[in-house]
Amino acid sequence: MDDEKPYVTRDADGNLILVDPVAVAVAQVVEDHNEQVAKRNCLVTAALQWDRVTHFQRRSIERGMSSQDICIVLINVDSRYGRELTDICMPKEAQPDWQSIRNSGLAPFARGLVERPGFQEVLDNLDPWAASRMRLEEGIPVVVVDHNVIAVFSLGEIRDHKLT
């Protein structure tokens, strides 16, 4: 009960007394706004890693991979879902020492090309919005896990943001 939302009131026995509908509505608006801000911040994250994004785009072309076969991922290991998605995408023995990266003052990011159909299935279960966004992307989608959200962008969106 200690994690109870402030707009929910319970008696000493834990019985629900009141749920303030105005407070619930305000909380939902704030939560939605914060999520949109976090997704815009993910676009900044992707733009700051543009050199890696273009590197993975070139690698996919060199390997003859179709945009329907792969996606590019930029995963902040410390973000919500970050560790879970990193473990799915990368065998433990191939993962660097994340703590040493943190100790050097950097955010630990797992970056690379992953199989799109498999990652699509993972997103279907974790984040329906990101999953539908990825499904709509005709080119190579770039999936950013940072700021405690999952966001999906096209290469053009990231390039255009980098230019502004």
Report if residue 6 sits inside a domain: no
Number of domains in the chain: 1
Q: Once rounded to an integer, what is the mean pLDDT over residues 149-164?
A: 90
CA atoms lying within 13 Å on the CB side of residue 50: 13
Report if residue 134 sits inside a domain: yes
pLDDT single digits (tens) 103-156: 999 999 999 999 999 999 999 999 999 999 999 999 999 999 999 999 999 999
Q: What is the pLDDT of residue 28?
A: 76
Which residues form the domain of 107?
A: 39-163
Question: Does 1 have pLDDT greater than 50?
Answer: no
The model's confidence at residue 3, banded by pLDDT at 50, 70 and 90, is low
Distance from CA of residue 114 to its chain's centroid? Answer: 14
Distance from CA of residue 40 to its chain's centroid? Answer: 11
pLDDT single digits (tens) 7-31: 677 778 888 767 777 766 777 777 7
Percent above pLDDT 70 for the chain:
92
Report if residue 16 sits inside a domain: no
**C-alpha–C-alpha distance, residues 75 and 79, integer Å:** 8
Mean per-residue pLDDT over the chain, rounded:
89
Q: How far is CA 31 from CA 34, 35, 40, 81, 123, in A?
A: 5, 6, 14, 18, 21
Question: Does 73 have pLDDT greater than 70?
Answer: yes
Q: Once rounded to an integer, what is the mean pLDDT over residues 75-95?
A: 93
Report if residue 30 sits inside a domain: no
Report if residue 131 sits inside a domain: yes
Record the tokens describing residue 106, joined without a space: 């950097």
Count CB-CB contacts under 10 A for residue 32: 10
Return the H-helix or E-strand segment holding 108.
Answer: none
Report if residue 149 sits inside a domain: yes
Report if residue 76 sits inside a domain: yes
At 146 the three-state DSSP class reads strand
Report if residue 1 sits inside a domain: no
Q: What is the pLDDT of residue 26?
A: 74
Edge-to-edge order in the sheet of strand 70-76: 109-115, 70-76, 142-146, 149-153
pTM: 0.80
**C-alpha–C-alpha distance, residues 144 and 153, integer Å:** 8
DSSP per position, 16-49: EEEE-HHHHHHHHHHHHHHHHHHHHHHHHHHHHT
